[in-house]
Structure 1
Amino acid sequence: MECIVVISRYCPNLWDGELRATKDGLTIRALPSSHPATILSTLLRSRKPYQWPTNPKKKKLKKKKRKKQSSREEHWRATDMASATLIPAASKLILSSSSTTRSFPRLSPFSNVSLPGRHRSVLFAAKRAAGDGGNRSSAACAAVGTAASEVETKRKSSFELQTLTTWLLKQEQAGGIDAELTIVLSSISMACKQIASLVQRAGISNLTGVQGAVNVQGEDQKKLDVVSNEVFSNCLRSSGRTGIIASEEEDVPVAVEESYSGNYIVVFDPLDGSSNIDAAVSTGSIFGIYSPNDECLADIGDDETLGQVEQKCVVNVCQPGNNLLAAGYCMYSSSVIFVLTVGKGVYVFTLDPMYGEFVLTQEDVKIPPAGKIYAFNEGNYLLWDDKLRAYMDSLKDPGPNGKPYSARYIGSLVGDFHRTLLYGGIYGYPRDKKSKNGKLRLLYECAPMSFIVEQAGGKGSDGYQRILDIEPQEIHQRVPLFIGSVEEVEKLEKFLA
């Protein structure tokens, strides 16, 4: 087995982008060059020396004019006076070049460089060629072909997909989560797939419009609100690992009698931004998972009534966000995005419609420390207090750089938050004269989103304290929310102080 290595003079990093091909027992590994594909095909086909193209019209340029060479001239300059000679002996290649040693920034005349292999048996020694007056260099490669095949390629295959299920199993094997939590998260992902399908077919299936009832918050329930709540609840019940579920659409938390292990507490908003459904604008589902608590059981004894059991459930569900084990959201937009954290970074999965699986697309997402985008419902500007209005006016002031903040507001917490997570900035829904405590719910909207943003390096606040430090007094408690980049949230807190 033979090893052939091709080196480009102007490769910015000598070892990036490695290629490897095998044919008839011949292993060829090529580092980036001007014509790597051509070199490989030529050597595989004929195993004869490959001559780089030369520019017969090339003229010597003065030093001052070299900077003004066109990109084509740069190409010729990088490839013209070089040739490769294949040695018949196995596992050996001699690379000759008329360029000086300075052309190889990573190969000095007396340095040794080894490729990262298990046995480190591929060794390059750069040395001056005899008889060239020190102005030319050659690199001799001596290698064992079998070792070359063990060197990992740095280029990731486009077919290497890691699904959400695989990722959860890896987290379980690493001790990050237990088997019961894995099942709960898998059930939630299944619910999100079903809701995504319902959202996409809402207009066709006559799921748009108002159901004709109101939820516990006094809001008109959309048809899809009701269906999404049933889907989410059924998936969590059937998991067999959920003890209590609390939904935006339910008056009180529900103790799941079917649970035989785990008893996790799951809080969720099955369809955030449902007012956008009829206009086909981004919507989403939000969820948070708390640790199991044996004090809240569904079994009703002789001395207990259903009301007492519900009371226990309420007490156990009302936990501060600091107690969250996992949180996430699923955004239904041009693509279906599932964002998840289990307390160790934020990961983004995208639903692949071909396979019907969530595929990992972004790892350990970090929110920018600052951003020039704000998302507030400025229609309520006159209802805000003076301090908040002063803050908003400061964002519109061009300032020294002459550029004010950009306003972006979708009307869906999930959509606005996801943009803020990726681009930085701040999202806010403050209290006003009409909504004294704000509009967003602490337990299943503000706390999960704040948990996610803090895992990404951001901050969630009510204007005066961390959202995760607030202990809910009731299931549907509302709080103001300011969430996003650390610098932007802290700037707002200074105005409100």
Structure 2
Amino acid sequence: MEEYTRESGLPAGLASVLTCVASVVSEVSNVLRSGSVSSGYSGGTNAFGDNQLEVDVAVDRLIFERLASCSAVQGAASEEQPELKPLPGRGYTVVFDPLDGSSIMGANFAVGTIFGIWPGGSPVGRAGRRQAAAAYAVYGPQTILVWARPKAGSTAAAEVAAAEERVQAGAEAEPGPAEHVEANGEASADGRGSGPDAEARGSDAASLCSCSARLRDTHQVDEFLLNADGTWRLNRADLAVAPVSKIFAPANLRAAAANEEYAELVRKWIEANFTLRYTGGMVPDVHHILAKGSGVFCNPCSSTAPAKLRLVFECAPLSFVLEAAGGSSTTGQHSVLDEPIRTTNDRSKICLGSSQLVEESLPAMQAA
């Protein structure tokens, strides 16, 4: 993996972080397969009041320990411990969901880990498009690691390298002007945030699902497979998501009871003979889109079924990967990557995947 990241032309610090991520994913895979940690409740709760499983706590602790050993990681936060912890390194802050879908482990379903990698310090006050890279792991019959990273020689690679230099010199990695959160709490106009400026730019469907600065042009999505000896091999390079599909994953389906637009959308897709692929785990359901090259994961909300997914730990990293593969994402108002992060507890609606299906979801996403 070190050789691959080096040959990919990544800045040294980002290469180090991604190598660390790959290493700890291998360790987490071993923990899950060995059955050495119970999947029962630990008796504790995290900062958000969620009941914790013993395996959540164990995996969370392991990832923090490994990130602390990486010289390019200066801070980390997780869904289990959302307050940012300073770490000895310098360069990046990593936010992660240690075990997404842990509640379905009892059924032996696939689960995952999600990573958002931010230049410099805290992601609070920035939007998801300012991530340097993002990654997720799927622990199923095979262990798969997928990440989105800057293409060699791209403007994104140059910006990440410049941010590394600023941080190493003792300065902060300043976010670009498009992603600053303004005093009124909105993303600035260039970031396609919500509010009057966004409305003035037009409300066509495409503008509510993506940004003119396409991640696909400057980033690449790669998939790796974990070998039996603990090493990684590149399985597929430069993954892409087609704009059309007939595969759907309807999450938070209880919202359809009060969200008539969502109920109608699901009926429309069923009547069009779409294929249903939904496990109840966000990581495997989103990975299915990349595995098949198309599809949609749709998670609207309603007055009785509010948004539950956390913006910084789940929605922003996975949207970064999908948009880097040429897909779209939306909150109903704009791309998930243009939603400003105000706190680590921010929740968000989300639809992501093939652009045509994401656009079709807009009435349901905007209904609540």
TM bin (shorter chain): 0.7 to 0.9
7, 11, 21: which one aligns with 1:188: 21
**Could you tell me how far 1:430 is from its partner in structure 2?**
1.6
Asked if the contact 2:42/2:53 (under 8 Å) is kept, the reply is yes
Provide the rounded CA distance (Å) in 2 between the counterparts of 1:378 and 1:468: 21
Structure 1 portions without partners, runs of 5+: 1-163, 294-312, 399-403
Structure with the greater alpha carbon radius of gyration: 1
Aligned pair in 2 of structure 1 residues 320, 496: CA closer, same or farther (>3 Å)?
closer
Asked if the contact 2:75/2:94 (under 8 Å) is kept, the reply is yes
324, 347, 350: which one aligns with 1:455: 324
Residue 99 (structure 2) pairs with residue 271 (structure 1): yes
**Could you tell me how far 1:463 is from its partner in structure 2?**
2.1
Asked if the contact 1:318/1:475 (under 8 Å) is kept, the reply is no
Q: Deviations over 1:77-109 (max 9, x none)?
A: xxxxxxxxxxxxxxxxxxxxxxxxxxxxxxxxx
Provide the rounded CA distance (Å) in 2 between the counterparts of 1:277 and 1:326: 27
Provide the rounded CA distance (Å) in 2 between the counterparts of 1:434 and 1:221: 24
Asked if the contact 1:367/1:457 (under 8 Å) is kept, the reply is yes
Q: Deviations over 1:18-39 (max 9, x none)?
A: xxxxxxxxxxxxxxxxxxxxxx
Asked if the contact 1:318/1:471 (under 8 Å) is kept, the reply is yes
Residue 48 (structure 2) pairs with residue 217 (structure 1): yes
Provide the rounded CA distance (Å) in 1 between the counterparts of 2:316 and 2:76: 16
Provide the rounded CA distance (Å) in 1 between the counterparts of 2:253 and 2:300: 12
Aligned letter for 1:280?
N
288, 300, 304: which one aligns with 1:430: 300
Structure 2 portions without partners, runs of 5+: 151-218
**Hey, which of these two has a bigger chunk of helix by percent?**
2
Provide the rounded CA distance (Å) in 1 between the counterparts of 2:270 and 2:136: 31
Q: Deviations over 1:390-436 (max 9, x none)?
A: 212211224xxxxx112121111110000012221110222223343
| Structure with greater contact order relative to length (CA < 8 Å, sep ≥ 6) | 2
Provide the rounded CA distance (Å) in 1 between the counterparts of 2:364 and 2:309: 21
**Could you tell me how far 1:382 is from its partner in structure 2?**
4.4
Provide the rounded CA distance (Å) in 2 between the counterparts of 1:254 and 1:448: 19
**Could you tell me how far 1:479 is from its partner in structure 2?**
0.2
Residue 242 (structure 2) pairs with residue 372 (structure 1): no
Aligned letter for 2:107?
A
Provide the rounded CA distance (Å) in 2 between the counterparts of 1:346 and 1:429: 23
**Could you tell me how far 1:185 is from its partner in structure 2?**
1.3
Aligned letter for 1:358?
W
Matches within 5 A, 1:71-470: 164-171=1-8, 174=9, 177-202=10-35, 205-256=36-87, 258-259=88-89, 261-262=90-91, 264-293=92-121, 313=122, 316-343=123-150, 344-353=219-228, 355-377=229-251, 379-398=253-272, 404-423=273-292, 424-436=294-306, 438-470=307-339
Q: Secondary structure at the match of 1:463?
A: coil
Asked if the contact 1:287/1:328 (under 8 Å) is kept, the reply is yes
Asked if the contact 1:330/1:339 (under 8 Å) is kept, the reply is yes
Provide the rounded CA distance (Å) in 1 between the counterparts of 2:56 and 2:318: 20
Asked if the contact 2:258/2:304 (under 8 Å) is kept, the reply is no
Q: Secondary structure at the match of 2:69?
A: helix
Aligned pair in 2 of structure 1 residues 341, 394: CA closer, same or farther (>3 Å)?
same
Asked if the contact 1:199/1:277 (under 8 Å) is kept, the reply is no
Provide the rounded CA distance (Å) in 2 between the counterparts of 1:194 and 1:380: 36
**Could you tell me how far 1:318 is from its partner in structure 2?**
4.1
Matches within 5 A, 1:35-50: none
**Percent of pairs identical after alignment?**
29
**Could you tell me how far 1:381 is from its partner in structure 2?**
4.6
TM-score (structure 2 length as normaliser): 0.77
Provide the rounded CA distance (Å) in 2 between the counterparts of 1:381 and 1:397: 20
Aligned pair in 2 of structure 1 residues 243, 249: CA closer, same or farther (>3 Å)?
same
Asked if the contact 2:298/2:361 (under 8 Å) is kept, the reply is no
Provide the rounded CA distance (Å) in 1 between the counterparts of 2:118 and 2:270: 40
Provide the rounded CA distance (Å) in 2 between the counterparts of 1:420 and 1:349: 16
Asked if the contact 1:265/1:317 (under 8 Å) is kept, the reply is no
* Equivalent in the alignment of 1:78: none
- Tell me how many residue pairs correspond in the alignment: 297
Asked if the contact 1:440/1:479 (under 8 Å) is kept, the reply is yes
CA-based RMSD of the aligned residues comes to 1.7
Aligned letter for 1:274?
S
* Equivalent in the alignment of 1:488: 357
Aligned letter for 2:265?
Y
Q: Secondary structure at the match of 2:283?
A: helix
**Could you tell me how far 1:206 is from its partner in structure 2?**
4.5
**Could you tell me how far 1:377 is from its partner in structure 2?**
3.5
Aligned pair in 2 of structure 1 residues 434, 219: CA closer, same or farther (>3 Å)?
farther
Deviating beyond 3 angstroms after TM superposition, the runs of 4 or more aligned structure 1 residues are: 381-384, 494-497
Asked if the contact 2:101/2:280 (under 8 Å) is kept, the reply is yes
Provide the rounded CA distance (Å) in 2 between the counterparts of 1:458 and 1:383: 28
Aligned letter for 2:260?
D
